[in-house]
Structure 1
Amino acid sequence: MDGDYVIGGVFSIHYYMHTVKHNYTTMPEPLRCTGSIDARELRFSRAMVFAIEEINNSTQLLPGIKLGYQIHDSCASVPVAVHLAFQLANGLDPVFYTGDNCSQSGLVMAIVGESGSTPSISMSRILGSFNIPQVSHFATCACLSDKQQYPSFFRTIPSDQFQADALAKLVKHFGWTWIGAVRSDSDYGNNGMASFLDAAQKEGICVEYSVSFYRTHPRSRIQRVADVIRRSTAMVIVAFVANGDMRILLEELSHEPFPPRQWIGSESWVTDQDMLRFSFCDGAIGFAIQQSVIPGLREFLFDLSPTKVAASPLLTEFWEDEFNCRLGKSASIDKNVCDGTEEIQTLQSPYTDTSQLRVTNMVYKAVYAIAHAIHNAVCQDANSTTQCDKITRIESKQVQTQLKKVHFSQNGYDVSFDANGDPVAKYELVNWQKSESGSIELVTVGHYDASLPVGQEFRINKNLTWVEGGTQVPVSVCSDSCSPGTRKVLQKGKPICCYDCIPCPEGEISNATDSPDCFPCPKEFWPNAERDTCFPKPVEFLSFDEVLGIILAAFSVGGACLAIITAAVFFHHKTSPIVRANNSELSFLLLFSLTLCFLCSLTFIGAPSEWSCKLRHTAFGITFVLCISCVLGKTIVVLMAFKATLPGSNVMKWFGPPQQRLTVVSFTFIQVLICTIWLVVSPPFPMKNLTVYKKRIILECALGSAIGFWAVLGYIGLLAAFCLVLAVLARKLPDNFNEAKLITFSMLIFCAVWITFIPAYVSSPGKFTVAVEIFAILASSFGLILCIFAPKCFIILFKPEKNTKKHLMNKNQS
């Protein structure tokens, strides 16, 4: 249709181009399309005509200006698209009228189209050189956003970069990490899939296979793609495929049954009503352009009279294919002549289906965007009236400049372009669901808005139907998730989504699913059996509540009671010869020190504290030195007593009771001094031992200064050894009751206990170290009290006839 300003339109109404074999002897045939008509593309072209007629009838937009159009079929092929680009850029021969009207039909101000990305790229490279703006309704390749290469390209449909990101987020949202990828071998498929795979890699998604094909490829190539899909283990297939290519693939897959697969589709095919006949794709999900309503379009599409149809070769072909008749021609073998009774309202065709206008609205908005750009270039708004100049010739470059600035709303839909010529990306999430009648229909289940903040772009507000009508999200992973307590170890030579789950090593945990590493628990914690949580280690010490602690405490108290009872017996018989003969003062002091020795072992039981750690070692050291000092004093007294019986000897006056007391005090004072220095320089302190056992903490007293500890023990050992030597020397002195023998036995036991204590103390783990020390204290204390005092108590209590001075002084009796 001619007009004051002409808009070009290029649509892929056919999907194949007739292949011509050149013989170079005749003029090549003109390019022509073959195959059946794509009814949806025909609807797009008719929507452009509807929009132009609507604008021509408008009093607000381009008043007094008539828009014309030239609409062409590109056959979805690059050669035809390039041919059309040159044809539209050159224009038709101008037509001159004798009247005042001067036609400018040769000037194409802008072009709507093309539907595919590859033809659009080819056209844009040519049209950009002439500054002719091109506004596509369906070319989504992200590469077209490059204004260096395509300066005059605009589009009303979002770039595939947004769709690729949205698809990757969708796959991640449902936990699919193992997918197959199918794409068209074209700019649309290759660029779209490249963007998707890049986004998917960032989301941690792995691709089992990535295959490509094109509808003009040999069937063997398409069969290979179908075989890859059949043999794959990935449950989910992401298909970035043009609808014409997808139809070929699904037809090939429908020939043989294959395992159920969850299809994730790009906008190109997932909203194509013609695809819904492939029932094995039930449950497919994908992103779609938002649904819209174009008032009056349905009536316009149905308004096809035989006269209008006959005036257009495309409409004629569509009419004849749909009604299986021949229009205005003689009948053929397989078709009758159309008799005029055909009613387009009865057709079930994508052309007549206006229930979900999506891409059609993109065509509608593209026409209006061009109209607004022309309006801004030729019209002036003044005093609430609009004056348009249709005489002044404008250049297409002016329209291109104005297109960058357009911002308007049509039918409630905003139209504007960013610096790359792209609109704001908004999608609907659609799902193929079976209706009650058994047919598959498109259901909108969510939305995606790229303009929203990160993490809020994507939302689902309805239940989805999955493959084979399932209600549970299908699982598509190479390896099952690693539970907490394990870590992922990649399988050699396979993608990162294929891994083995290895239990965490001892002492380490992982508390998240699919953890790549295990991490150690803090020092005072230990993993549970599942190795997914750190629990505080149980604290262990020799307690009064446990059996070993109770037994040792009982022996300690029992030993103290035994010493007190012995002292009571001696006190009651203090005037008896046997008590008086054995230096009663040192005996009582020895029994007192033994009582303290027994009781000091109680400080070793219970949770260590600062005071108990300091007390236990110093009290033990001092009481034992007091004890050994008393034994040493008694031994010296025995030796001196026999020396004093020699004629002329007055040795006893040098070792009387004052000297004995001074000896005990002196020896004990040295130990007190050692302990004081130890406590001042580096005293014992409570500590948590984390090294003996991995799974529990030992509460113990650290020695502080090991030198101080061994100095205390060494001093006790030195006194004990000195006492043993003296006792051995005195053991054969003649007497009916020689105490030196008893001291010798007691010191032998004492030294044996403490000599064996050292290796046992060093090698005992944990609380048993304390138990060994208590055992040594009790054993040596019992050895002293039993060896020294038991025979005397036995005579006092059970053999009183031997408790006489005569018996004690009788040297001839055994």
Structure 2
Amino acid sequence: MVKCAISKPLPILHKYYQSGDPVIAGIISQIYIFSDTITFKKSPTHELFDNRIYFIASWTYLASMDLLSTQGNFIPNYKCDTHNNVAAVIGGPNSDICANMATILNIYNIPQFIYGSAPGTNNKNEMPFFYRLFPSGAVQYPGILQLLLHFMWTWIGVIVQEDDNSESFVQNELPTFSQNGICFDFIGSFPKLTFTSEFTEMLEKGHDMFQVVMESTANVVIIYGEIQTIMNLRTLLYLSKFENMTLKAKVWIMTAQMDFTSVGIQRNWDIHFIHGALSFGIHGKDVPGFQTFLKIRNPTTEKGDGFIWDFWEEAFDCFFPNSEVDGLAKGPCTGEEKMETLPGTVFETSMSGHSYSIYNGVYALAHALHIMHSSKFKHRASVDKRRRDLLHQQPWQLHHFLRSFSFNNTAGETVSFDQEGQLIVGFDIINWVTFPNQSFLRVKVGRVDMKDSSNISFSIFENSIVWPSSFNQAWPFSLCNDHCHLGYSKTKKEGKPFCCYDCLPCPEGKISNQEDMDDCFQCPDEQYAANDKDFCIQKTMTFLSFEEPLGITLVVFALSLSSITALVLQIFIKHKSTPIVKANNQNLTYTLLISLLLSFLCALLFINRPERMTCLLRQVAFGVIFSVAVSCVLAKTIIVVLAFMATKPGSRMRAWVGIKLAYFIVFSCSFIQATICIVWLAISPPFPDVDMHSMTDEIVLECNEGSTVMFYCVLSFMGFLAIVSFTVAFLARKLPDNFNEAKFITFSMLVFCSVWLSFVPTSLSTKGKYTVVVEIFSILSSSTGLLGCIFCPKCFIILLKPELNSREQLIRNRH
């Protein structure tokens, strides 16, 4: 089916072009327009070259050589007349048409305007003769990539037509898509029909390719082809009905080289498959008066235009008298049929992008000729002479004027070419909307333009897009697999493209706050991961305070135990003259009770917000006070042993028994511990610190011990004193003495050692403020063990059994 207003508007437009400056009209008569359907030459005889069947290159060569012959005599390179010289040629829309005509016309340096896809060539000698009305691929292909990225279509299919341009597209452009995160489920091709013998092969290959498309999980398919590609695609879709092939909805993305065209057999075929498709189209605009011009066109008004008669018979499915068309199945043509009654699949009354390119090309050539003539001839006698002079110009003289000039067309737009002969224009993004009556609309939903040499401007109005019906007007997804949600990261699937991946939950402490993240990341130190691992939460500041229940409980216990210790001390002072108080060194007893009292109060230094002074004092105070307490116990134990040994006749131990030895033991042990603490404070003292990592959701304010080695040295020295005391007391536990403390000291040291031996692993396994709680508990429990085991039995006798606390009872028991 010939499509005059879509990609072949020539017989209708050539006279429309003449409505203007008579000089421009004369210039237009020297412009020859080639297409894959016809080669039209406006001349007195209106010669037509039909290249429609099988797209045979020989017809293009024939038409090109005929331009170089005398009118009516096919003798290439021999022209007797000078009134029909070729000024320029417009060719298209297929690249092979342009390439074939260039083979002949380049020899004569004839300007060639390409209104379709330009032929791929690396020959720099051919480039100066081409003027591309079709926008540059440097705009279209990045535009397609931007469209895919905008809708996050990363899993796509590609169908290309087998030709040099498609091969260049696959090799040069698709790798750029991959570099930007696009994967291809398939890259299929279908043959370009050239001879009838290849039609069956094309159908077989096309069917296999179409089956791959329908079985693919990709919802988006790019089609790269030329003007006849959509006819082939419609044929494959039509034949698929007889193959019981399941048809799935796809979002077709068509390149601007394609356009809607059809043959007569496809007149009533369904076009719903392109509903919701997106295509890149050559920028077009309605030209004033074009619709009116189309309405008055009919065969009766154009007696010399044979092409419109053929078009009329094909478009309205009728025949004229004396026509070669078989009219058995058709009605007669009246010539009064209206073009606006034709469905869009047969004829579009709007000016398409290809038609608009031809329109601009014709006027660009006319203006270039006009400028060239104006620069050479300052005085003109008449319009006829002006036009006559123009006809004698050589084609190669135009090139200088065609480069880098601009003009305003009648549609109100500026038309210009750059130094390389490329029309400076962008692409429209078209959304195809079909209707049951076989008509369709091309809705402009976006635009792609060259911003500068390295950037393009891309705009899309996604709310205006109508999607294929199967997607229920929802934004289609085209992914190899579902998105990895928040809290998950991608991991590659072996043997699959990089767009295919599995989703793994983020490990503990890491999050992913975006879909499809390559890896989870750690929250900042002051934040922690939420349960779903999709965002970070601010940590709370925490420390063992007086206000919280645990802190209050420990304070109550510390104060209660210190009060009990003070009460015991008061009892002992009140009954200081009794034998049980005097036994085992009264002053050591007072010193031990005071140190235990301070030990209970020392626990309060570990509670509340850590400050510099409290951090310095609490470990030092704890170490020195406990050392005094344990050294007192050690002194008591040693005194008991020495006292028993001194009672033996002739024993030399009498000289060692006395208050001085006890003081020496307490002072020396305490001095050693104090020295360790001073060294600790000198080299690496404790300081307030912030622990960001031990607790998941809390920032722990704590006292950093500074030197851990010195801290454990303090504990080790106290442990050494406790073990010595326990050993001596254990050996002296059965000495015959009515007020022997050795067995009570044995139990107290057993409790003390058990508590502090369990403290080390417990403190290492706890985190945050609970490490402080463990240390406070160890201080209170070990001090309580000393207080209870050593002083409870004595208090029981003093308060409840005073008869046992008498000298007479002591002497009676001894005898």
Alignment TM-score, normalising by the size of structure 1: 0.82
Contact conserved, 2:628 with 2:670, CA < 8 A, in 1? yes
Contact conserved, 2:6 with 2:352, CA < 8 A, in 1? no
Q: Pairwise mapping of residues 544-555 of structure 1 onto structure 2 (< 5 A)? A: 552-555=554-557
> Which residue matches 1:176?
153
> Which residue matches 2:77?
none
> 1:449 and 1:661, CA in 2 relative to 1: closer, same or farther beyond 3 A?
same
> Which residue matches 1:98?
none
1:236 and 2:220 correspond = yes
1:280 and 2:281 correspond = no
Contact conserved, 1:111 with 1:133, CA < 8 A, in 2? yes
Q: Pairwise mapping of residues 722-733 of structure 1 onto structure 2 (< 5 A)? A: 722-724=724-726, 727=729
Report the Cα distance in structure 1 between the residues aligned to 2:351 and 2:493, rounded to whole angstroms: 47
1:223 and 2:207 correspond = yes
Amino acid at match of 2:489: R
> Which residue matches 2:250?
261
Secondary structure at the aligned position of 1:143 is classed as coil
Contact conserved, 1:750 with 1:783, CA < 8 A, in 2? yes
List per-residue Cα deviations over 1:200-225 (Å, max 9, x = no partner).
Answer: 33442222222223244423333334
Q: Give 1:253 deviation, angstroms.
A: 1.0
Report the Cα distance in structure 1 between the residues aligned to 2:750 and 2:86, rounded to whole angstroms: 123
Report the Cα distance in structure 2 between the residues aligned to 1:631 and 1:165, rounded to whole angstroms: 88
> 1:271 and 1:661, CA in 2 relative to 1: closer, same or farther beyond 3 A?
same
> Which residue matches 1:53?
18
Amino acid at match of 1:408: F
Aligned pair partner of 1:85 in 42, 56, 64:
64
Give unpaired runs (5+ residues) of structure 2: 33-40, 43-47, 75-79, 242-246
Percent of counterpart pairs with the same letter?
34
User: Root-mean-square deviation (CA), in Å?
Assistant: 4.2
Q: Pairwise mapping of residues 340-355 of structure 1 onto structure 2 (< 5 A)? A: 342-343=336-337, 348=342, 353-355=348-350
Report the Cα distance in structure 2 between the residues aligned to 1:750 and 1:330, rounded to whole angstroms: 121
Q: Give 1:475 deviation, angstroms.
A: 2.4
> Which residue matches 1:373?
368
> Which residue matches 2:596?
594
Aligned pair partner of 1:617 in 608, 619, 630:
619
Contact conserved, 2:543 with 2:702, CA < 8 A, in 1? yes
> 1:84 and 1:626, CA in 2 relative to 1: closer, same or farther beyond 3 A?
same
Q: Pairwise mapping of residues 221-620 of structure 1 onto structure 2 (< 5 A)? A: 221-257=205-241, 258-270=247-259, 278-298=271-291, 300-301=293-294, 309-321=302-314, 322=316, 324-327=318-321, 334=328, 342-343=336-337, 348=342, 353-380=348-375, 388=386, 390-391=388-389, 393-411=392-410, 412-434=412-434, 439-451=439-451, 454=455, 456-460=457-461, 463-468=464-469, 470-522=472-524, 525-535=527-537, 552-581=554-583, 583-605=585-607, 608-620=610-622
Q: Give 1:111 deviation, angstroms.
A: 0.7
> 1:601 and 1:313, CA in 2 relative to 1: closer, same or farther beyond 3 A?
same
Secondary structure at the aligned position of 1:432 is classed as strand
Amino acid at match of 2:422: D
> 1:292 and 1:702, CA in 2 relative to 1: closer, same or farther beyond 3 A?
closer
> Which residue matches 2:181?
204
Report the Cα distance in structure 2 between the residues aligned to 1:54 and 1:493, rounded to whole angstroms: 64
Q: Give 1:540 deviation, angstroms.
A: 7.1
> 1:255 and 1:741, CA in 2 relative to 1: closer, same or farther beyond 3 A?
closer
Q: Give 1:154 deviation, angstroms.
A: 0.7
Contact conserved, 2:31 with 2:87, CA < 8 A, in 1? no
1:44 and 2:43 correspond = no
Report the Cα distance in structure 1 between the residues aligned to 2:726 and 2:287, rounded to whole angstroms: 118
> Which residue matches 2:110?
132
Report the Cα distance in structure 2 between the residues aligned to 1:530 and 1:475, rounded to whole angstroms: 25
Aligned pair partner of 1:119 in 94, 97, 100:
97
Secondary structure at the aligned position of 2:9 is classed as helix
Secondary structure at the aligned position of 1:254 is classed as helix
Contact conserved, 2:111 with 2:399, CA < 8 A, in 1? yes
Q: Give 1:596 deviation, angstroms.
A: 1.0
Amino acid at match of 2:441: E
Report the Cα distance in structure 1 between the residues aligned to 2:271 and 2:732, rounded to whole angstroms: 115
Q: Give 1:410 deviation, angstroms.
A: 1.1
Amino acid at match of 1:474: P
Aligned pair partner of 1:799 in 792, 801, 806:
801
Give unpaired runs (5+ residues) of structure 1: 1-35, 96-101
Q: Give 1:371 deviation, angstroms.
A: 1.3
Contact conserved, 1:52 with 1:67, CA < 8 A, in 2? no
Secondary structure at the aligned position of 2:357 is classed as helix
Amino acid at match of 1:458: S
Report the Cα distance in structure 2 between the residues aligned to 1:787 and 1:305, rounded to whole angstroms: 124
Amino acid at match of 2:678: T
Q: Give 1:533 deviation, angstroms.
A: 2.6
Moved more, 266-275 or 112-121: 266-275
Report the Cα distance in structure 2 between the residues aligned to 1:649 and 1:352, rounded to whole angstroms: 135
> 1:424 and 1:565, CA in 2 relative to 1: closer, same or farther beyond 3 A?
same
Moved more, 124-133 or 637-646: 637-646
Moved more, 246-255 or 291-300: 291-300
Moved more, 692-701 or 220-229: 692-701
Q: Give 1:770 deviation, angstroms.
A: 4.6
Moved more, 693-702 or 84-93: 693-702
Report the Cα distance in structure 2 between the residues aligned to 1:339 and 1:730, rounded to whole angstroms: 136
Amino acid at match of 1:485: G
Q: Give 1:597 deviation, angstroms.
A: 1.7
Moved more, 539-548 or 154-163: 539-548
Contact conserved, 1:92 with 1:105, CA < 8 A, in 2? no
Contact conserved, 1:542 with 1:606, CA < 8 A, in 2? yes
> Which residue matches 2:191?
213
> 1:472 and 1:719, CA in 2 relative to 1: closer, same or farther beyond 3 A?
closer
> 1:289 and 1:520, CA in 2 relative to 1: closer, same or farther beyond 3 A?
same
Contact conserved, 2:512 with 2:535, CA < 8 A, in 1? yes
> 1:490 and 1:659, CA in 2 relative to 1: closer, same or farther beyond 3 A?
closer
Q: Give 1:153 deviation, angstroms.
A: 0.7
Contact conserved, 1:51 with 1:364, CA < 8 A, in 2? no
> Which residue matches 2:140?
163
Contact conserved, 2:343 with 2:437, CA < 8 A, in 1? no
Q: Give 1:398 deviation, angstroms.
A: 0.5
Moved more, 297-306 or 572-581: 297-306
Contact conserved, 1:134 with 1:153, CA < 8 A, in 2? yes
> 1:464 and 1:142, CA in 2 relative to 1: closer, same or farther beyond 3 A?
farther
Report the Cα distance in structure 2 between the residues aligned to 1:331 and 1:532, rounded to whole angstroms: 72
Report the Cα distance in structure 2 between the residues aligned to 1:521 and 1:42, rounded to whole angstroms: 59
> 1:327 and 1:211, CA in 2 relative to 1: closer, same or farther beyond 3 A?
same
Amino acid at match of 2:60: A
List per-residue Cα deviations over 1:427-484 (Å, max 9, x = no partner).
Answer: 3322222469784333333333333795742232762221128422222222111112
> 1:808 and 1:92, CA in 2 relative to 1: closer, same or farther beyond 3 A?
same
Report the Cα distance in structure 2 between the residues aligned to 1:584 and 1:621, rounded to whole angstroms: 24
Q: Give 1:662 deviation, angstroms.
A: 5.7
> 1:725 and 1:161, CA in 2 relative to 1: closer, same or farther beyond 3 A?
closer
Report the Cα distance in structure 1 between the residues aligned to 2:437 and 2:3, rounded to whole angstroms: 26
